[in-house]
Amino acid sequence: MSWQFDRAAYERRMDWYVRARFGLFLHWGLYAIPARGEWVRSVERIPKEDYDPLMAEFDPKACDIRQWMSAAKAAGMKYAVLTAKHHDGFCLFDSAYTDFKSTNSPAHRDFVREFLDAAREAGLRAGLYFSLIDWRHPDYPHYGDRHHPMRDDPAYSNEGRDFDRYLDYLHAQVRELCTNYGRLDLLWFDFSYDGLRGEAWRATELVEMVRSLQPDVIIDNRLEVSGEGFGSLAACRPTSFHGDFVSPEQIVPPYGLRDAEGRPLIWESCVTMNGHWGYCANDRYYKPASLLIRKLVECVSKGGNLLLNVGPDATGRFPEESLAILGEIGRWMEKNGESIYNCGPAGLDKPEYGRFTRNGDRLYVHIFENTIGPLPLSGVDRDRIRSVRRLADGSEVPLSTSWVHSDYPDLAFADLGPDPVLPDLVDTVLEVRLKAVSE
């Protein structure tokens, strides 16, 4: 019998994920040593002979993954995803199919196992990123490939390279990750391009194997696409290897995503704190916590998740800037997380002053800037409002009876008081409890 998409099973699998809304991405590997980003081999066209010796230096004695997970949890994140293997082919796990791995480095550590143990201990859902691309494997296309470090050097001819042999290697490593480390909540494949899409990866076979070993694992859409493109589920023609979610990269979509038949799509925006995924010592263009908090709210208001990246340095430490940003986000989330978790679009137009999120009969009004006069609760029927409270401290916010909005009798207005300065300059959140339509 041919494969058929089971929407009910899909929605059950995705339930925890759409409730979580906020996760941590971790890009880490040998590229933390040159500290010029995770694509350094490709960008600088570094030969294998010059890159491989970095493994002899990989000994991150300051790496305490429990501290990483503690920082993630304190920031209000509900899940975390680690790069088990990036495009350079270096494995942070003890693969039986390569010597190019952390257990062979001076560290002699299986960081994937440490990560999964620490995440579970912290109560976080845990996932692994795995690159479909491998610039080190001899059977992966070299010359003429769009991304390979040796793409422009005819000395690295593809003659004698057997891509099917490479796929055997890829599948074997994914099987190891799905077999040797217990339950995985998420598998984040990266990425398809040019002719390397879908069945070019033997994707049906790959996903059948993954689902036989990890039946509830969530898989991204990059067996079909990259950071651009939505995939077959969005087209309402799901393949057996369809992505469970769309994965826009370095952008929050300008509107909520829907499939070809108008149903909301599940999506996750993956975003760096600065301009790089892997540690880049000279990149100081960090996004302020205030911006990232508002972008998280924006994602949720449009029905999406935010996966926020940290690139630990070569010693295994989080950059100080990243820790400071996580700390600020955590302080806001501690008071306002109810407006993020289990929430989604409110079904109302975006207000001029901020955003709406919603969880059932609770509407969350995110105020990024104050108004002159009382705050209009646009689209909310005044007669359906049970109460308005400031989420951070539970204090009552009365509905306004001022004459100044008498020209707008169909609108409900909240009275924030005489102070023109908002209690939280980043995002002051009101919780509006609504009566049922029948009440």
Which tens digits make up the pLDDT trace of 117-172?
999 999 999 999 999 999 999 999 999 999 999 999 999 999 999 999 999 999 99
Q: Which residues form the domain of 147?
A: 7-337
Residue 399 lies in a domain: yes
The CA-based angle 59-169-313, given to 5 degrees, is 25
Ranges of the chain with pLDDT below 50: none
Residue 2 lies in a domain: no
My answer on whether 255 and 383 are in the same domain is no
My answer on whether 312 and 194 are in the same domain is yes
Q: What pLDDT, on the 0 to 100 scale, is given for residue 3?
A: 82
My answer on whether 290 and 362 are in the same domain is no
My answer on whether 25 and 79 are in the same domain is yes
Q: What pLDDT, on the 0 to 100 scale, is given for residue 180?
A: 98
**Per-residue pLDDT tens over the stretch 195-217:** 999 999 999 999 999 999 999 99
My answer on whether 210 and 331 are in the same domain is yes
Residue 344 lies in a domain: no
Domain stops at, among 271, 305, 337:
337
My answer on whether 220 and 285 are in the same domain is yes
pTM of the predicted model, to two decimals?
0.97
Rounded to whole angstroms, the Cα distance separating 432 from 383 reads 12
Contact 151, 143 (CB under 8 A): yes
CATH number of 377's domain: 2.60.40.1180
The three-state DSSP-derived secondary structure of the chain is CCCCCCHHHHHHHHHHHHHHCEEEEECCCHHHCCCECCCHHHHCCCCHHHHHHHHHHCCCCCCCHHHHHHHHHHCCCCEEEEEEECCCCCECCCCCCCCCEHHHCCCCCCHHHHHHHHHHHCCCEEEEEEECCCCCCCCCCCCCCCCCCCCCCHHHCCCCCCHHHHHHHHHHHHHHHHHCCCCCCEEEEECCECCECHHHHCHHHHHHHHHHHCCCCEEECCCCCCCCCCCCCCCCCCCCCCCCEECCECCCCCCCCECCCCCECCEEEEECCCCCCCCECCCCCCCCHHHHHHHHHHHHHCCEEEEEEECCCCCCCCCHHHHHHHHHHHHHHHHHHHHCCCCECCCCCCCCCEEEEEECCEEEEEECCCCCCCEECCCCCHHHEEEEEECCCCCECCECCCHHHCCCCCCCEECCCCCCCCCCCCCEEEEEEECCCCC
My answer on whether 327 and 377 are in the same domain is no
Residue 369 lies in a domain: yes
My answer on whether 168 and 286 are in the same domain is yes
Residue 422 lies in a domain: yes
CATH number of 250's domain: 3.20.20.80
According to DSSP, the β-strands at 428-434 and 362-367 are antiparallel
My answer on whether 300 and 263 are in the same domain is yes
Residue 199 lies in a domain: yes
Residue 260 lies in a domain: yes
**Domain count within the chain:** 2
Domain stops at, among 279, 309, 337:
337
My answer on whether 290 and 370 are in the same domain is no
Q: What pLDDT, on the 0 to 100 scale, is given for residue 275?
A: 98
Domain stops at, among 307, 337, 367:
337
My answer on whether 184 and 243 are in the same domain is yes
My answer on whether 28 and 143 are in the same domain is yes
